[in-house]
Structure 1
Amino acid sequence: MFYAILLMMVAAFLALRLYSVLGKRSGEPLARPAEERVGPKPVARTVDVTPEVRDVQPRPIDSGAEGGIRAIVGAEPGFDVTQFVDGAQAAYRMILEAFWKGDREALRALTTEDVYASFDEAIAARETDGLTLDNRLVSIERAVIADASLAGREARIAVRFDADIAAVTRDAEGNVVAGSTDDAVETHDLWTFARTLKTGDPNWRLADTDDA
């Protein structure tokens, strides 16, 4: 019974944490660790957006995402694109670190059922092989909204992350079997976050992952 109560407390904390990075509305400050403040960098090309989109963000989006963002802003006027991108970076770090540590409870609170199932399967395979990941997210160089859509009340926003990750795999004895502790590898991920608008749940959850 005590363990069940403890898990409920952990899940509640994680949901509150995710709300703090993805669920806040415009005008509320978002605290971010100092190491994350390297991103996002501006998109290289100028994006000519309509006034209603320009009012809520300083163009951290690709041109192909404008229509979807416009629809989301129209359905939920308090939506803030820049703050969402900031929160997406924090969620990117939280989810990666939870996966590397094999923290299933954290992943369950931050992802949809399908994504969680994929993470759980990968963690189980790693455990069977006696492997652990000693990875570190060195920096997020850029985070840009690559696509956005609204179907009914279901909003989906895809964010492209360009990051540097130091990746090391160790065996059961702690020996390095892959990767390097000295070199960071450039990674390019496309993560899609989803949320049902106009409900009591303000949290965006990771709904899909792919290589950018």
Structure 2
Amino acid sequence: MNIDPLNILLLAVALVVFWRLRSVLGTRTGMEKPPIEPFETKRNEAPKGQDANGTVVRFPQNGQTTSPAEATAQEPEEPVWSGYAAPGTELAGTLAKLAESDPSFTPRSFVEGAKMAYEMIVESFAKGDKPTLKNLLSREVFEGFSRAIDEREAQGRKVESRFVGIGKATIQSASLVGKRANITMEFVSELISATYDASGEVIEGDPKHIQEVTDVWTFERDVTSRNPNWKLVATQAPS
């Protein structure tokens, strides 16, 4: 079989180009996931039914068109606290002040982020995942969680926990002092949890039973910070 020298030369050049590109670009597959930030919001993405300026846009019906100005006049914008606080309450006033201090804040996005953070914290504590906990907890709370994990591991105990779902996530109270905002949430969740001793015997919980758990957690954030995440600063027993 005759081999064309020109083809061999072209193949060699192609291999050199390939390996140089590989060394520059690396071997990323495109499937890598960025770190999860539960409270992060997409600031540049307008809500459905709104334009980039936040103006409500009505779709034409029956051949008629409605201008943004007419749509705004027909449907007054609801207060930011609507659905999360009663009118005239201290909570409603504080949520409104929070939105004024931080335009990216909405009670809805906060509650969704808090639910994600709650699940991540409970599961990370069960796994003993300190790096994840450190990003979501204040220094004082992290130290308490860290000690509990160390004591559990020293005793040879292991916790298995699995979320079934969060049935309720309600804002109980909120405060804004200077640039520090605090929001207290009540979570009612269903999960399966069991603690095993060093011999593998269940000493707490039930690996086959769904239990309802109520937690009251307080989150804090500097509203002037570019970091969107709130941190857990306190836990307490439900009243």
Shift of 1:88: 0.7
Question: Aligned pair 1:59/2:76, yes or no?
Answer: no
Residues 168 and 81 (structure 1 numbering): CA distance in 2 closer, same or farther, change over 3 Å? same
Structure 2, unaligned runs of 5 or more: 1-32, 47-75
Contact 1:71 1:149 in 2 (8 A): no
Distance 2:85 2:164 in 1: 23
Contact 2:174 2:181 in 1 (8 A): yes
Distance 2:42 2:107 in 1: 10
Correspondence for 1:100 among 118, 126, 132? 126
Correspondence for 1:153 among 175, 179, 187? 179
Distance 2:42 2:169 in 1: 19
1:17 maps to 36
Correspondence for 1:165 among 180, 188, 191? 191
1:119 maps to 145
Shift of 1:179: 1.5
- SS of the aligned residue for 1:90 comes to helix
Q: Deviations over 1:68-117 (max 9, x none)?
A: 21221121123111111011111110011100000111101111101101
TM-score (norm 2): 0.67
1:38 maps to none
Structure 1, unaligned runs of 5 or more: 1-12, 30-50
Residues 179 and 199 (structure 1 numbering): CA distance in 2 closer, same or farther, change over 3 Å? closer
Residues 204 and 170 (structure 1 numbering): CA distance in 2 closer, same or farther, change over 3 Å? same
Residues 22 and 157 (structure 1 numbering): CA distance in 2 closer, same or farther, change over 3 Å? same
Q: What is the letter of the counterpart of residue 39 of structure 2?
A: L
Q: What is the letter of the counterpart of residue 175 of structure 1?
A: E
Following TM superposition, the consecutive aligned residue runs of length 4 or more in structure 1 with deviations greater than 3 angstroms are 25-29, 60-64
Contact 2:192 2:207 in 1 (8 A): yes
Distance 2:234 2:221 in 1: 12
Paired residues, what number? 176
Residues 142 and 61 (structure 1 numbering): CA distance in 2 closer, same or farther, change over 3 Å? farther
- SS of the aligned residue for 1:69 comes to helix
- Aligned-pair Cα RMSD in Å: 2.4
Identity of aligned residues (%): 33
Distance 2:233 2:123 in 1: 17
Q: What is the letter of the counterpart of residue 97 of structure 1?
A: E
Shift of 1:22: 0.6
- SS of the aligned residue for 1:135 comes to strand
Shift of 1:188: 1.0
The structure carrying a bigger helix percent of its residues is 1
1:196 maps to 222
Distance 2:141 2:45 in 1: 29
- SS of the aligned residue for 1:146 comes to strand
